[in-house]
Chains A and B, each alone.
Chain A
Amino acid sequence: NAGVTQTPKFQVLKTGQSMTLQCAQDMNHEYMSWYRQDPGMGLRLIHYSVGAGITDQGEVPNGYNVSRSTTEDFPLRLLSAAPSQTSVYFCASSYSSQGYEGYEQYFGPGTRLTVT
């Protein structure tokens, strides 16, 4: 299994441009999520999905859109990039707990985004 894959690894955008960060997993996980990592602030949840067709907002959703048309893919769209969105973005996946005590979450290698 490839696990969680993310593309691209690096990206430079100009303010106002849009782009999509790709995330895919081949473990048949129901739950997928996006985090951003900033120095001194740790990882913060942007959006998440508990299954195909179901998405919800996390802690810092403004400026980002997501959709989940398949179990495998969970793309993150930046609508109009701003310098404040310069960060490292991580995608994660796991089985859905459904009231159980939860499962191990697996993270992708990340996308380093710079907005100038």
Chain B
Amino acid sequence: KQEVTQIPAALSVPEGENLVLNCSFTDSAIYNLQWFRQDPGKGLTSLLLIQSSQREQTSGRLNASLDKSSGRSTLYIAASQPGDSATYLCAGSFGNEKLTFGTGTRLTIIP
């Protein structure tokens, strides 16, 4: 069974720092990995999708990487801002559209 893990469950970082969120998965035959942001009481907003043939994707201050051999993905946030505070979820697709989600990292940016 494919599993996706996110550690730590919570992270606090001073404003302006760069930070990395981690996501690990058990099946190297991953089709793609998607990072989402979820604000309290809200839905999921897609941030980045990395397909298996890609190694990284960038959008503004966000950069996501995918290493299939080690079973890891990272989401790098540059120059963090209080508005980046949210829960970040990663989800892997293993051969079809069904997503397997991690339980998320709750990020707090301290002004």
Could you tell me which A residues sit within 8 Å of B by CB distance? 31, 33, 35, 40-45, 48, 50, 58, 90, 92, 94, 96-97, 101-110
Contacts and interface: CB of A to CB of B under 8 A. Distances in A.
Interface string B90-110: 010100111101111000000
B51 A90 contact: no
A102 B97 contact: yes
Interface in B55-111: 89, 91, 93, 96-99, 101-104
Given A42-B103, A42-B104, A104 B97 contact: no
Contacts of A48: 97-98
B104 A105 contact: no
Nearest to A48: B98
B43 A105 contact: no
26 contacts: A33-B98, A35-B99, A35-B101, A40-B103, A42-B89, A42-B102, A43-B101, A44-B101, A50-B97, A90-B43, A90-B44, A94-B97, A97-B96, A101-B31, A102-B31, A102-B49, A102-B97, A104-B49, A105-B34, A105-B46, A107-B36, A107-B43, A107-B45, A107-B46, A109-B42, A109-B43
Contacts of B52: 101
Interface residues on B, range: 20 to 34
B76 to A, nearest CB: 19
Given A43-B101, A107-B36, 7 more contacts: A48-B98, A58-B98, A97-B93, A97-B97, A102-B97, A104-B34, A110-B42
Contact of B46 (A45, A102, A104, A110): A104
Contact of A102 (B43, B51, B102, B103): B51
A50 B31 CA distance: 17
- Residue of A41, A90, A105 most packed against chain B (CB within 10 A): A105
B89 to A, nearest CB: 7
A49 B76 CA distance: 33
